[in-house]
């Protein structure tokens, strides 16, 4: 494959770091054009030095000077603020953009990259949850393909390569079930953030790890799959698969099911997105099925994990409601991580925000930003009323 010039938005987060691990194994194939982060300036500076990044942006302006000083004497240009991310990501010198910022904040720079016709390696599922139809419409209009980084969607994408134009009967989206899969509801209700942050299989950032514990993450992934693969939600089936070896499956009309398997390691889907259509050799652990011994499957328990049901409800109502769900969830998860609300407070707040939101059937991008900020305000009020003493 020809050398690709890459931008990584959110390079100091879990996906960003693992993307750079893949690139470290293939320095001849990638040139690091742009790295951005929210506030971890020391980590960003170290990455810029190691990978000779041409440009870096720190979104938190108050850290700009520290980053600039840390990169003094290098050839790296240093910028501050979210607007710089949105501007620099459109550069002619960038071929592929890894969208791995956390949450709704990833939407604006991802839209900029799409409008500039970049190949998008999408890890930021909140972008599609909040604004799926707008994002996919712009992707088609500007010829900016969106390649999934999310492991389940990478798996579906890989399975669909076997479709050869044949109709898909069902997508089977697998879920680990998270750390509370075997717990009773009362025990879950009292779970602290330290318990919720212990994911059995995947090493990820704090926000998505809490989303995995509530299973909101799986609900978001149903919405993400609907938009990425243009598939109605009733054809997307969630299956709990605790071993996280099958990353998802596609079923065809003849009953054949194609599954994608690998050890749970995000570097695999990352390499598939940034190297597509090539598969890059990786120093990851390879699958040893006899050693694993068995794979198991269960139905999801919507009684224990109401967030998953909320996501189905949100996409069923459509319009700006999935954006409401996302904004309420982000606000509530942040409060849970500050020990301010109980575990089920997250889904309670999300559900209440969905009930009370002003419905917009066909939102513009301005409506989406407005819905996001209004919902955050509403969710903060609910957090305050629920706050543990």
Contact residues toward Mg ion (CB under 5 A) are 150-152
Residue 130: which of 306, 346, 348, 367 has the closest Cα? 367
- Tell me whether residue 125 or residue 304 sits nearer to Mg ion (CB atom): 125
Angle between helices 206-214 and 321-337 (to 10 degrees): 110
Q: Under the phi-then-psi rule, with left for phi > 0, alpha for psi from -120 to 50, and beta for the rest, what region is 273?
A: alpha
- The residue of the chain with the least Cβ separation from Mg ion equals 150
- Tell me whether residue 300 or residue 345 sits nearer to Mg ion (CB atom): 300
- Tell me whether residue 35 or residue 315 sits nearer to Mg ion (CB atom): 315
Sheet arrangement for strand 77-80: 77-80, 55-58, 30-37, 4-9, 96-99, 119-122, 146-148
Residue 116: CB minimum distance to Mg ion, A: 27
Q: Is 7 helix (H, G, I), strand (E, B) or coil?
A: strand
User: What 3 state SS string does 45-81 have?
Assistant: HHHHHHHCCCEEEECCHHHHHHHHHHCCCCCCEEEEC
Measured between alpha carbons, how far is 174 from 137 in angstroms, rounded to an integer? 27
Residue 173: CB minimum distance to Mg ion, A: 9
- Tell me whether residue 152 or residue 265 sits nearer to Mg ion (CB atom): 152
Residue 45: CB minimum distance to Mg ion, A: 30
- Tell me whether residue 209 or residue 375 sits nearer to Mg ion (CB atom): 209
Measured between alpha carbons, how far is 131 from 103 in angstroms, rounded to an integer? 12
Residue 247: CB minimum distance to Mg ion, A: 8
- Tell me whether residue 12 or residue 14 sits nearer to Mg ion (CB atom): 14
Residue 151: CB minimum distance to Mg ion, A: 5
Residue 212: CB minimum distance to Mg ion, A: 8
Is the Cβ–Cβ distance between 328 and 350 less than 8 Å?
A: yes
- Tell me whether residue 244 or residue 371 sits nearer to Mg ion (CB atom): 244
Is the Cβ–Cβ distance between 154 and 148 less than 8 Å?
A: yes
Residue 266: CB minimum distance to Mg ion, A: 9
Residue 152: CB minimum distance to Mg ion, A: 5
DSSP 105: G
- Tell me whether residue 270 or residue 383 sits nearer to Mg ion (CB atom): 270
Paired residues of 261 in beta bridges: 246
Residue 175: which of 238, 264, 267 has the closest Cα? 238
């Amino acid at each position: 494959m020809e050398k690709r010039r890459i931008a990584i938005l959110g390079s100091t987060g879990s996906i960003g770091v693992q993307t750079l691990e893949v690139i470290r194994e293939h320095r001849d194939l990638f040139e690091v054009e742009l790295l951005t982060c929210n506030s971890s300036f020391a980590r960003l500076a170290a990455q810029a030095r190691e990978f000779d990044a041409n440009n870096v942006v720190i979104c938190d302006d108050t850290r700009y000077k520290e980053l600039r000083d840390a990169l003094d004497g290098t050839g790296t240009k240093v910028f501050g603020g979210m607007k710089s991310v949105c501007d620099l990501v459109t550069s002619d010198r960038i071929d592929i953009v890894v969208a791995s910022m956390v949450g709704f904040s990833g939407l604006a720079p991802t839209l900029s990259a799409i409008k500039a016709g970049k190949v998008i390696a999408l890890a930021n599922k909140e972008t599609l949850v909040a604004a799926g139809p707008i994002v996919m419409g712009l992707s088609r209009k500007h010829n900016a393909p969106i390649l999934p980084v999310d492991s389940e969607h990478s798996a579906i994408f890989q399975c669909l390569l076997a479709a050869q134009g044949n109709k898909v009967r069902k997508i089977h989206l697998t879920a680990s079930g998270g750390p509370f899969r075997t717990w009773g509801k009362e025990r879950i209700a009292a779970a602290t953030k330290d318990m919720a942050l212990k994911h059995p299989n995947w090493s990820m950032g704090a926000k998505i790890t809490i989303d995995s514990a509530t299973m909101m993450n799986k609900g978001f992934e149903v919405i993400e799959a609907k938009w990425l693969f243009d598939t109605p939600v009733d054809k997307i089936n969630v299956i709990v698969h605790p071993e996280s070896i099958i990353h998802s499956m596609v079923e065809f009309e003849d009953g054949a099911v194609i599954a994608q398997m690998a050890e749970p390691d995000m570097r695999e889907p990352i390499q598939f997105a940034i190297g597509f259509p090539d598969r890059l050799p990786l120093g990851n652990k390879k699958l040893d099925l006899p050693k694993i011994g068995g794979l198991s499957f269960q139905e999801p328990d919507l009684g224990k994990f109401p967030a998953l049901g909320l996501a189905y409800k949100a996409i069923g109502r459509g319009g700006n409601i999935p954006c409401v769900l996302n904004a309420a969830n982000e606000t509530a998860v942040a409060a849970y991580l500050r020990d301010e609300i109980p575990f089920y407070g997250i889904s309670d707040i999300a559900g209440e925000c969905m009930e009370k939101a002003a419905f917009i059937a066909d939102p513009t991008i301005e409506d989406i930003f407005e819905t996001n900020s209004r919902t955050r305000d509403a969710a903060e009020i609910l957090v305050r009323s629920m706050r543990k003493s």
